[in-house]
Structure 1
Amino acid sequence: MEIPMPAPICLIENSPAGELQVQQEALQVLAEISQPVVVVAIAGLYRTGKSYLMNKLASKRTGFSLGSTIQSHTKGIWMWCLPHPSRAGHTLVLLDTEGLGDVEKGNTKNDTWIFALAVLLSSTLVYNSRGTIDQQAMEQLHYVTELTELIKVKPVAEGGREGIKVKAEGRGGRQEEEDSAEFVRFFPAFVWAVRDFVLQLELDGREITEDEYLENALKLKPGSSKQDQHYNLPRKCIRQFFPARKCFGFVPPAGWKRLPRLEELREDELEPEFREQVAQFCRHVWETSKPKTLLGGHVVTGAMLGNLAVTYVDAIRSGAVPCMESAVLALAQIENSAAVGEAVAVYEEQLERRAVLPTESVQELLEVHAQCEREALRAFMARAFKDDKQQYQRQLKDKLDSKRAELCRRNEQASSDRCTAALRELSQELEERVREGSYSVPGGYQRFLADQREMVEKYQLVPGKGIMAAEVLQEFLKSKETVAQAVLQTDQSLTDRQREIEAERARAEAAEREAQRSQEMQAKTEQLLQDQTRSHQEHVQQLTAKMEQDRKQLLAEQERALALKLQEQERLLREGFRGEAARLEQQMQSLRQEMNRPQDTCSIL
């Protein structure tokens, strides 16, 4: 899939007044991306070299603007969409966020929203810092301690209305505890990139990895004093919210005098160790970053990512806390409506390819409809999600039922037009003889019947007449009964008794044709009823398969969350924090109960 995006563009603008606004140009780019997206966002203090790493992830020398002064260069959130270097059929979306902690901006709440949006939109979050992971670095990452105030998993009723205002609940509230326990399932993987890292990786006289260095920095202090709580809070939040985490240390890339023009330096002008560290970082992000998914494991496309950004920014602008479940439900409505439209379009496209009207039988037509309906349903199931009450599937079924009725009408009309044209052509000679009086002679009635039978025989041999052949013929012969009666009455060779016998025979033939037409109509009605049953079964079958697939995705998501929580519990026990481990056990128990809950049944009626 070609993405015409030679350079990054602004996704979310951050005005000088602190107003966030999603940019239409970026939304138009995302709307064209139907592939799953792997979203990598980077956040961190301003002037720490975030943009350089993002350019490397894009496999480009330039792109995201690095800037070369002490001022924060990137404003808002900038986006670059590229073909994924290692995942075929996926798009890599890179998000470079405004530098946090810019003293000129003086708006910490705005910084916090930028950080929260990076968390909400990404599948991998890179936090970029300089020096070492010490207490100062932890305090600079104070944004993570505010996430439970800034993001909710589920909507909360307030004053009888859905939603929750900023700081509606302080820390420690039940909603916050439930949310923070859930975050592990929905938050991105976390990569801490430590720039200009010059320490020896040693602990207690032994060499350690960068990951071990990070875990050691995240160890909690025993004790309950305010100082201990202040020390532990950011560490607890990182451990709880980002159990899937990785650390990379980068030596200074070059001498300090050359750093301001880092993007201009050739590769051979950079420190070899730095180049290798950057290569390892990029490989890790490319190979381990998963596609962005929603609650329940539904994979996000570019178009969906754009709608998510709009939903979250609109919530922030209105003064509400972005709620992941509400955002997913809003997105589901958009996607499910689009899925109905896409499925109908697939039906029409398939019908254009398969249907040749008129068909020779109703069954043949219904088989074509069934094939098109099956493909349309597959398209719908591939895109729709969280249609828990099958509201949108019912809409699709109603539309496809209407399409079937319209198809039957078109088929009948095509057949009727063809049969009428054939009879008009074949009956020209017969009608000409009637006008000339050729049958107004003794024995004329038998000649008329013979010519009419010959015409009917020729009509029966006409190919491609379709399902209305008998009905149109019946209507045609009925329209000629007056002519036949007139010829019969004027035939002087027949006695009154013979005329009566011929009239009776004509009525019997007409009645036989009418009975045959009634049988065909009844058979057609039965076939349509059978097709309704088949259609219902097809919908149920595909819905059941989708629900099973969704269930597997959800279980995989839950098992991953359980494994991460178990891993964190083991760390807590090793560090001696049995109370924290016990609370984590309660969360895992709730998750196990959710995993064992019986699956819902499906019904589209």
Structure 2
Amino acid sequence: MLSQNIKVSANDSSNDGLESIMPHFVLCVRDFNLELEHNGEEMTADEYLEMCLQTKTAETQEDEKYNRPRECIKRYFTRRKVFTFDRPAGRKVMRTLDLAREEDLNEDFVHETEKFLAYIYTCPGKYLLNKSPVTGSMLAKLLREYVATISDGNVPCVEDAIMIMTRQENEKHAKVAVEEFKVFLKQIQLPVYDKNKLCNSNLKFKKEQLSSLQSKLMFDTDSKFQNSTEDEMQTLYEEFEKHNSKLLYEKCINTLHKMHETTVKVNIEKGKYATSGGHDVYDQDMRVLYDEYNNELKNIDIAERRKAQHDFESKMIHENKLMVTEDKKLTEKESKELMTTKLNTLKTELIQSQKNERIKLEAKLDDQRRFYDEKRETAKRKEKERERRIADEHREELRRMKEEFEYEIKREREKRIAAKERRDMENERRRLNERERALEQNKWCYLS
């Protein structure tokens, strides 16, 4: 019996709900030539079928054998329909029936065929146990599962077959949703500057897809398929967002390199920074470059811009160090040259001053020699001794001044040498003048 070769549920052997999943029973009787009447009264084909399905009182084994198929049909096929077809045409037409025209066919046969087609086309679709309509692909999966189970010698279980079919259908719908999400991502032109807009667009489309998927899923009470599909979409979006971030980073870093090539690097080649204080100029140009970079790419998320800028600055550390080293060398060189120039100037001024003082002294001595010409011979020896002593003292003074001067120069290299040197030189000049005045007074005293 059918009830012994198929079951509704794996946990229930009663098969009480089997009739709910059985198809309509449609009986087509060809070449029907009986009269549809009973006890002299006409009946319909359906009434004729119901009459034929009447059972006998089971008194013998033959009666049970007679009743069994009729009971099964009435039990499991609650909707039953019969179509009785006359012979399609005469013998001559039947030989070439596939080439026959409609007007060559029996009128009663054509009429019954039209009724049959109208009934079949208007029959409602089948539904699963959860009232979900059965589609063609679902029916094919169910049939394959039934055939495979029967071929293995097992009893087909409707519930198991439906769950297998449901899982396959859910997997198909989930796969379709994921594929549509992939198509959605492929349609987005990269890179997308506004990450918030990209995220909102993703959330909106994903919400629509998941809502549509939820309406198609069957028996997904634990939301297994919906959650796995959402997770897969999220993974795809995260990979997509990571790729978008990579493109944004590449655009930022390429923009920085391009700006650097056309501005700062050109200035380096021209020697703009090859001067004292060049690093400050270089640093200012780099700040201008970063300002222009952020202004040009202001539509890109600030985090992406800062990351690219930080990496670019790391690559520019060597160049920055070169600018600092070169600036330091040039500054030290210019300072040294300036000190040398100042020292030479001071030396020249000192020599010229000494020369002028010597000329003045010699002129005064000449005047004194002319004035004291009569006493020249007497005072000549003393005068020579005095002049020798003065010269020795003068040389000693010059030597001492030289040592002090060199010492001051050494100290001035460390801090404000120029100002202190001038003060020292002025003090020296005043001491010389005082000594000269003292010498003149001594001369006058001696001559007097």
Q: Same fold (TM over 0.5)?
A: yes
* CA 1:241–1:445: 2 relative to 1, 3 Å: same
Number of residue pairs matched by the alignment: 327
Superposed CA deviations along residues 498-529 of structure 1, whole A, max 9, x for unmatched, are: xxxxxxxxxxxxxxxxxxxxxxxxxxxxxxxx
Which residue pairs with 1:194 in the alignment? 29
Which residue pairs with 1:402 in the alignment? 235
Q: Which residues in structure 2 correspond to 1:137-536 (within 5 Å)?
A: 146-155=1-10, 175=13, 178-179=14-15, 181-203=16-38, 206-221=41-56, 223=57, 225-226=59-60, 229-255=64-90, 259=94, 261-290=96-125, 292-353=126-187, 355-378=188-211, 380-381=213-214, 384-428=217-261, 429-434=263-268, 436-463=270-297, 466-467=300-301, 468-480=304-316, 483-484=319-320, 487=323, 490=327, 492=331
User: Percent identity among equivalent residues?
Assistant: 27
* CA 1:464–1:196: 2 relative to 1, 3 Å: farther
- How far did 1:320 drift? 0.9
**Counterpart residue type for residue 444 of structure 1:** G
CA contact (8 A) 2:88 2:94 kept: yes
CA contact (8 A) 2:252 2:297 kept: no
Instruction: Give the Cα separation in 1 of the matches to 2:89 and 2:267.
Output: 105
* CA 1:284–1:207: 2 relative to 1, 3 Å: same
Instruction: Give the Cα separation in 2 of the matches to 1:311 and 1:340.
Output: 21
Superposed CA deviations along residues 421-442 of structure 1, whole A, max 9, x for unmatched, are: 1101001120332355422324
SS of the residue aligned with 2:9? coil
SS of the residue aligned with 1:451? helix
- How far did 1:325 drift? 1.6
CA contact (8 A) 1:316 1:322 kept: yes
SS of the residue aligned with 1:427? helix
* CA 1:474–1:246: 2 relative to 1, 3 Å: same
**Counterpart residue type for residue 288 of structure 2:** E
Superposed CA deviations along residues 551-578 of structure 1, whole A, max 9, x for unmatched, are: xxxxxxxxxxxxxxxxxxxxxxxxxxxx
Superposed CA deviations along residues 246-266 of structure 1, whole A, max 9, x for unmatched, are: 222223333467646544443
**Counterpart residue type for residue 477 of structure 1:** E
SS of the residue aligned with 1:191? strand
CA contact (8 A) 1:339 1:379 kept: no
- How far did 1:310 drift? 2.8
More helix per residue: 1 or 2?
Answer: 2
Instruction: Give the Cα separation in 2 of the matches to 1:409 and 1:478.
Output: 23
Instruction: Give the Cα separation in 2 of the matches to 1:442 and 1:192.
Output: 108
Instruction: Give the Cα separation in 2 of the matches to 1:337 and 1:405.
Output: 22
Superposed CA deviations along residues 189-243 of structure 1, whole A, max 9, x for unmatched, are: 121223333344345555433223333333455x453466445433322222111
CA contact (8 A) 1:152 1:324 kept: yes
- How far did 1:484 drift? 4.5
- How far did 1:278 drift? 0.9
CA contact (8 A) 1:415 1:465 kept: no
Bigger radius of gyration among the two = 2
Q: Which residues in structure 2 correspond to 1:35-46 (within 5 Å)?
A: none
**Counterpart residue type for residue 337 of structure 1:** E
Instruction: Give the Cα separation in 1 of the matches to 2:321 and 2:150.
Output: 85
- How far did 1:151 drift? 1.6
Instruction: Give the Cα separation in 2 of the matches to 1:277 and 1:464.
Output: 77
**Counterpart residue type for residue 154 of structure 1:** S
Superposed CA deviations along residues 28-70 of structure 1, whole A, max 9, x for unmatched, are: xxxxxxxxxxxxxxxxxxxxxxxxxxxxxxxxxxxxxxxxxxx
**Counterpart residue type for residue 150 of structure 1:** N
**Counterpart residue type for residue 404 of structure 1:** Y
CA contact (8 A) 1:358 1:414 kept: yes
Superposed CA deviations along residues 126-147 of structure 1, whole A, max 9, x for unmatched, are: xxxxxxxxxxxxxxxxxxxx21
Instruction: Give the Cα separation in 2 of the matches to 1:289 and 1:465.
Output: 57
- How far did 1:365 drift? 2.2
- How far did 1:331 drift? 2.2
CA contact (8 A) 2:210 2:230 kept: no
CA contact (8 A) 1:444 1:487 kept: yes
Instruction: Give the Cα separation in 1 of the matches to 2:167 and 2:257.
Output: 54
Instruction: Give the Cα separation in 1 of the matches to 2:92 and 2:69.
Output: 34
> Unaligned stretches of 5+ in structure 1?
1-145, 157-173, 496-605
**Counterpart residue type for residue 172 of structure 2:** A
Q: How big is the alpha-carbon RMSD for the aligned residues of Structure 1 and Structure 2?
A: 3.2
- How far did 1:153 drift? 1.4
Superposed CA deviations along residues 317-376 of structure 1, whole A, max 9, x for unmatched, are: 2111222222222223333333333222111101112x2333333322212322342354
Which residue pairs with 2:405 in the alignment? none
Instruction: Give the Cα separation in 2 of the matches to 1:375 and 1:151.
Output: 40
